Amino acid sequence: MHLTLQQLRLFQAVVRHGSFTRAAEAMHLTQPAVSIQVKRLEEQAGLPLLEQIGKKIYPTAAGRAVLEHGTAVLDQLKALDQELDSLRGEIKGPLQISVVTTGKYFMPHLLGRFLQQYPGVEPRLKFTNRARVVERLNQNLDDFVVMGQVPPARNLVSHPFLENVLGFVAPADHPLAGRRRIPLKRVLQERFIAREQGSGTRRVVEEMLEKKGIAIEPYMELGSSEAIKQAVIAGIGVAVLSLHGVRLEQEAGRLTVLDVQGFPIRRRWYAVHLEGKQLSLVARTFLDFILAEGPKVLQGE
Ligand code: PGA
């Protein structure tokens, strides 16, 4: 049967009031709107559900069956609603997560949406570079961590949840801007601004260049992707950054993403914790939330 919950509610109201007009008033609808929905329900049932005796309306035997089961369905839904409400109330308390620095461009958005649903959660997010996040992971200091590359250790559980696209960025008026398929060797003749040792972004770039037999010779090292972005805008050089973090500057025409051969590099972000770790209810709920809602939340930003 294809029926809607609203049809069941309206049917309940008509039987309760013994009248379409009074049911419509109670449900803040017009009388024809109620009649149409009840008629549809009757069509689905394939039997008349109501009969009129005098001025009053009564359910038929089929109507009583619909009423009985329909009421059970609606009651179950109400119970589900209440249970979810109380679970939401229980989901409160500390949530401790370490995130690689580049995650600062999306984790606050995910957290913000999560806190709208669970205001009792007390979040502590620590943003630090990959090497430090790996240390914290091994020492089990967080509920879970978020990083771009999972260490090869066997005792880890990782959940991929978003795409991490790494591209070459340059000032919008850079001579290579708009050129197609720029050779890697050519772009590396530019002043290259690199992240510090220990950065996951740096690791990805080094690994990629190593495979091509190219050693990285940074013109300058900076310890934060935000500082690198500003340095690129200031015309100091080019860099590889996670493109999540440059969207606004790109839209504002301050930065451009160069079309370099072998780029962009497409990776994933992972939520990672030690195997066998018992996640708290808050942590489990947040993890489920970012896995299910992550892409949707960020599309809306
Ligand atoms: P990073 O890490 O912020 O240390 O560069 C990014 C990553 O793990 O991919």
- Identify which of 107, 133, 203 to mutate to test ligand 1's pocket (most ligand atoms within 8 A of the CB): 203
Q: Is the CB of 98 under 6 A from ligand 1?
A: no
Q: Which residue has the higher pLDDT, 69 or 154?
A: 69
Cα–Cα dist 254/230, whole Å: 10
Report CA(178)–ligand 1 centroid distance (Å): 27
Determine contact, residues 232/170, Cβ cutoff 8 Å.
yes
Region 138-144: what's the mean pLDDT?
95
Q: Is the CB of 237 under 6 A from ligand 1?
A: no
Which residue bears the tokens 């394939």? Answer: 46
pLDDT tens, position by position, 178-233: 999 999 999 999 999 999 999 999 999 999 999 989 888 899 999 999 999 999 99
Report CA(129)–ligand 1 centroid distance (Å): 6
Percentage above 70 pLDDT, the chain: 99
Report CA(84)–ligand 1 centroid distance (Å): 36
For residue 269, the ligand 1 atom closest to its alpha carbon is: 9
Q: Is the CB of 149 under 6 A from ligand 1?
A: yes
Residues 6+ apart with CB under 8 A from 177: 170, 171, 256, 258
pLDDT-based confidence at residue 252 (cuts at 50, 70, 90): very high
> CA separation (Å) from 142 to 11, 94, 111?
52, 10, 16
Give the predicted TM-score (pTM) of the model.
0.71
Q: Is the CB of 148 under 6 A from ligand 1?
A: yes
Determine contact, residues 270/161, Cβ cutoff 8 Å.
yes
Report CA(139)–ligand 1 centroid distance (Å): 19
Region 115-119: what's the mean pLDDT?
93
The closest of 222, 191, 112, 200 to 151, measured between CA atoms, is 200
For residue 102, the ligand 1 atom closest to its alpha carbon is: 3
Cα–Cα dist 271/253, whole Å: 33
Q: What's the confidence (pLDDT) of residue 55? A: 87
Report CA(199)–ligand 1 centroid distance (Å): 5
Report CA(168)–ligand 1 centroid distance (Å): 15
Residues 6+ apart with CB under 8 A from 35: 20
pLDDT-based confidence at residue 301 (cuts at 50, 70, 90): low
Q: Give me the chain's average pLDDT, please.
A: 93
Q: Is the CB of 244 under 6 A from ligand 1?
A: no
Cα–Cα dist 102/241, whole Å: 9
For residue 133, the ligand 1 atom closest to its alpha carbon is: 4
pLDDT tens, position by position, 53-105: 988 899 999 999 999 999 999 999 998 988 887 788 889 999 999 999 989 88
Q: What's the confidence (pLDDT) of residue 300? A: 61
Region 157-184: what's the mean pLDDT?
95
